[in-house]
Amino acid sequence: MDKPGDFLIEEIKSAPCSIRRALSSAREASRALARRIAESGAVAFIGSGSSYNAALPASWLLRQRGFPAWVLQACEVKEFGLGLTGAVVPVLISVSGEGEDIIGAATSIVNSGSPMPGVVCNTPGASLISFAREKLMLDAGPQRAEAATHTFLASMAALLQLALDVLEEAGAGGFRPGCSGATECPGSAPLSPVRDAPEPGAAGEKARKDELGKMRENLGRLPGIIEGVLKRSLETIPVAADFLSGRGLKNLAIVGFGPGYAACLDGALKIKEVAQVFAEAHEGDNVLHGPAYPIVYHKIPVVILGSTVAEQAGKRLGRFFSQLGCRTVLLERRCPPGPCVSEIETRFEMVDEGGVSSTGDITRKNAGYNDYLDIGIYDEEIPEVMVPFAGSVPLQLLAYELGKRLGLDVDTPPTKASQIQALARCSR
């Protein structure tokens, strides 16, 4: 590989293999760490950037099942400590295991007398590993591009596997001993009521085990699901990149729901890093509380990652922004197949006013308002907690495609960005 961008695109394509290796490599350490977390009754995931984002789906799943879980910024823990009472088990996440903030957070935790942390890392021999009791090594392969893509997905998969292990160790439902799904447990922060919690008793216990078994089965299928998403996205995302950047792209809004917000946060980070476009992530309908006005006023393009639970909410937001003049892309389950054309580039000429054009995975709508692309990124039904995996791949590819169109070396940040990073280090 000797052309700019070769490392990044190959690492994006390697995601299925990286996920498969991470799930296998971290398996035994994950069980051991899960037992300790279940016994303590709470967990705090700690990371920076993509590592922070990777922990959000696991934390979401645990909280949905009533198990206390937090995601904290490493820089905050470094400066102010863990800030949680009780025997909360910290889990430190870093691909390199050498970042100043994560090492500072580990030092702060150890010095405070908190329980020994577990570590999720991709680099054997990294400094962070020396702080760990349990070491979840990803074996995701080297990261040569600056932006974390395959390693982000591998981290997210290993952490989701850990969350499932914790729920199994905690008694399938995830409730702390003596809590039985209560909204508040002694010695912990108040919890939200457990959503759709099965009834207590033998029948409820079986339902909980069956649900976790199905989730674990879906986790095993994840590499194959991502292979399908990759294949589809490699065809459709270049079209989306042309569509979004047609008038010169300087800003981008990315909207997600529930655990899918993790993919939007990381996608926005990748687009900033790789394409030098200011992208901002928004959580569901919160985008309507303030951000919507400048988005519409400045006609900022919008990308929406659909939800399997709140499916209509994504479609509603797509219509809202399109009607108000923003170019909008909706990423969701594969849209119903329509009339196809042989050349993907001709799709923009097929739209009659008030009509719909479709070419397999992409539907372009123009119902008397601005353009709106509906892109199907996966076929099968997947649990909501796996939406961030399906959504991350097209957003990573979008960052790559936008960066290439701007003539950037997408493997390495521009000189000015590197200078800013150096100045930030000197100012500490």
Q: How confident is the model at residue 349 (pLDDT cuts 50, 70, 90)?
A: very low
CB 157 within 8 A of CB 222: yes
pTM: 0.85
pLDDT for res 288: 92
Residue with tokens 């691909």: 95
Distance between CA atoms of 389 and 154, rounded to whole angstroms?
10
Same-fold call for 6-197 versus 225-416: yes
Stretch among 232-236, 280-284, 368-372 having the lowest mean pLDDT: 368-372
Helix (H) or strand (E) holding 364: strand 362-365
118-155 pLDDT per residue, tens? 999 999 999 999 999 999 999 999 999 999 999 999 99
29-58 pLDDT per residue, tens? 999 999 999 999 999 999 999 999 999 999
The mean per-residue pLDDT over the stretch 328-344 comes to 58
- Identify the CATH number of the domain defined by range 6-197: 3.40.50.10490
Name residue 246's amino acid: G
Query: Is pLDDT above 70 for 183?
Result: no
The mean per-residue pLDDT over the stretch 62-73 comes to 96
pLDDT for res 387: 94
Name residue 86's amino acid: G
Query: Is pLDDT above 90 for 424?
Result: no
Residues in the chain: 428
Mean pLDDT score across all residues of the chain: 84
DSSP three-state, residue 134: coil
2-36 pLDDT per residue, tens? 565 589 999 999 999 999 999 999 999 999 999 99
The mean per-residue pLDDT over the stretch 400-423 comes to 76
Give residue limits of the domains in the chain: 6-197, 225-416
**Homologous superfamily of 225-416:** Glucose-6-phosphate isomerase like protein; domain 1 (3.40.50.10490)
pLDDT for res 180: 34
The mean per-residue pLDDT over the stretch 88-112 comes to 96
Closest residue by Cα to residue 145 from 273, 268, 278: 273
* β 356-359/328-333 pair status: unpaired
pLDDT for res 425: 59
Residue with tokens 């590993």: 129
* β 372-378/362-365 pair status: antiparallel
- Could you give the count of Cα atoms lying within 13 Å of 132 in the half-sphere of its Cβ? 25
Closest residue by Cα to residue 168 from 357, 23, 31: 31
Name residue 282's amino acid: H
Q: How confident is the model at residue 108 (pLDDT cuts 50, 70, 90)?
A: very high
Query: Is pLDDT above 70 for 88?
Result: yes
Beta sheet of 278-283, edge-to-edge order = 278-283, 251-256, 302-305, 328-333, 372-378, 362-365, 356-359
Closest residue by Cα to residue 122 from 37, 220, 19: 19
Instruction: Return the number of other C-beta atoms located less than 10 Å from residue 334's C-beta.
Output: 16
pLDDT for res 186: 33
* Cα pseudo-dihedral 84, 175, 218, 203, rounded to 10: 180
* Cα pseudo-dihedral 241, 287, 69, 114, rounded to 10: 90
Query: Is pLDDT above 70 for 173?
Result: no
Stretch among 60-74, 229-243, 309-323, 404-418 having the lowest mean pLDDT: 404-418
Query: Is pLDDT above 60 for 60?
Result: yes
254-302 pLDDT per residue, tens? 999 999 999 999 999 999 999 999 999 999 989 999 999 999 999 999 9
The first and second tokens of residue 332, run together, are 């969701």
Q: How confident is the model at residue 335 (pLDDT cuts 50, 70, 90)?
A: low
In the chain, what percentage of residues exceed pLDDT 70?
78
pLDDT for res 203: 66
DSSP three-state, residue 144: coil
Distance between CA atoms of 212 and 126, rounded to whole angstroms?
33
The CA-CA-CA angle for residues 410, 238, 311, to 5°, reads: 110
CB 321 within 8 A of CB 337: no
- Could you give the count of Cα atoms lying within 13 Å of 331 in the half-sphere of its Cβ? 35
Query: Is pLDDT above 50 for 184?
Result: no
